[in-house]
Structure 1
Amino acid sequence: MKQRTVMAVGGHIGDMDLAVGPLLAQAVLDGGRAALVALTPGERGHPRLGIDEYRKQKLTEGHAFAAAIGAEFHVFDDISDGFLQPTDDVAARLARLIRDIRPDTLIAHWRHSIHTDHEHACQITERARFLAGLPGWAPEDGERHGVARLLYAENWEDARGFEADSYAPISTEAFEMWSTAIQGQAFARGETYGFRYIDYYSAQLIMQGCLARTDRAVALSSGDGGRFVVID
Structure 2
Amino acid sequence: MQKKFLVFGAHPDDPDLMFGGSALKLTKAGHIVKFVSVTNGGAGHHILSEEELIPRRYNEAQVSAGIIGLEEYQIMDNPDGRLENTLKNREDITRIIRNFRPDVVITHRLCDYHPDHRITAQLVLDTSFLLRVPHFCPDTAVPDHNPVFAYSFDAFTDPRPIRADAYVDIEDYVEDKYRLVDCHKSQFYEWLPWVDLNEKNFSTDGWSWKQKMEYLEKHWGWRFKAQAAMTNGKAEKYAEIFEYSPYGRQVSPEEFQALFEP
| Residues 150-189 of structure 1 mapped to structure 2, 5 A cutoff | 150-156=149-155, 160=158, 161-189=160-188
Between the aligned partners of 2:228 and 2:118, the Cα distance in structure 1 is 27
Q: Which residue of 2 aligns with 1:217?
A: 239
Could you say what secondary structure the match of 1:112 adopts? coil
Instruction: Tell me which residue corresponds to 2:66.
Output: 67
Q: Extract unaligned runs of 5+ from structure 2.
A: 198-214, 247-251
Q: Whole-Å Cα distance in 1 between the matches of residues 28 and 6 of structure 2?
A: 15
| Match of residue 96 from structure 1 | 95
How far apart, in 1, do the equivalents of 2:228 and 2:164 lie? 13
Q: Equivalents in 2 of 1:145, 1:58: separation in Å? A: 34
Tell me the CA shift for residue 140 of structure 1.
Answer: 2.4
CA contact (8 A) 1:98 1:129 kept: no
TM-score by length of 2: 0.77
Counterpart for residue 202 of structure 1 = 221
Judged with a 3 Å threshold, the aligned counterparts in structure 2 of structure 1 residues 114 and 209 are, in CA distance, closer, same or farther, namely closer
8 Å Cα contact 2:61-2:73 kept in structure 1: yes
Cα distance, 1:46 vs. partner?
0.5
**CA shift for structure 1 position 9:** 0.3
SS at match of 2:183: coil
Q: Separation in 2 of the partners of 1:33 and 1:201?
A: 26
1:123-167 C-alpha deviation (Å, 9 max, x unpaired): 1101123222224433322343543311111135x6633422223
Q: Which 5+ residue runs of structure 1 have no aligned equivalent? A: none
* C-alpha separation in 1, matches of 2:30 and 2:87: 34
Task: Give identity over the alignment, percent.
Answer: 21
Equivalents in 1 of 2:230, 2:84: separation in Å? 36
SS in 2 for 1:193: helix
Are residues 122 and 105 of structure 1, via their aligned partners in 2, closer, same or farther at CA, if it must alter by over 3 Å?
same
Residues in 2 aligned to 1:204 and 1:46: alpha-carbon distance in whole angstroms: 23
Q: Which amino acid aligns with 1:115?
A: H
After TM superposition, the structure 1 stretch with the greater mean CA deviation from structure 2, 33-42 or 207-216, is 207-216
Deviation at 1:173, TM superposition (A): 4.3
* Preserved CA contact (<8 Å) 1:110 1:162: no
Matches within 5 A, 1:37-76: 37-71=36-70, 72-76=72-76
Partner of 2:151: helix, strand, or coil?
strand
Report if the CA contact (8 A) 2:108-2:152 is conserved: yes
2:118 matched to which residue of 1? Answer: 119
Instruction: Please identify, of 88-97 and 205-214, the stretch whose mean Cα deviation from structure 2 is larger.
Output: 205-214
Larger Rg: 2
Cα gap change, 1:67 to 1:129, in 2 (>3 Å): farther
Asked whether the equivalents of residues 45 and 192 of structure 1 are also in contact (C-alpha less than 8 Å), the reply is yes
Residue 144 (structure 1) aligned with residue 115 (structure 2): no
CA–CA distance in structure 1, aligned partners of residues 62 and 129 of structure 2: 28
Q: Secondary structure at the match of 2:192?
A: coil
Letter matched to residue 13 of structure 1:
P
Which SS does the other structure have where 2:33 is aligned? strand
CA distance in structure 2 between the aligned counterparts of 1:174 and 1:218, rounded to whole angstroms: 11
Q: Which amino acid aligns with 2:225?
A: I
- 8 A Cα contact 1:7 1:36, kept in partner: yes
Instruction: Return the TM-score normalized by structure 1.
Output: 0.86
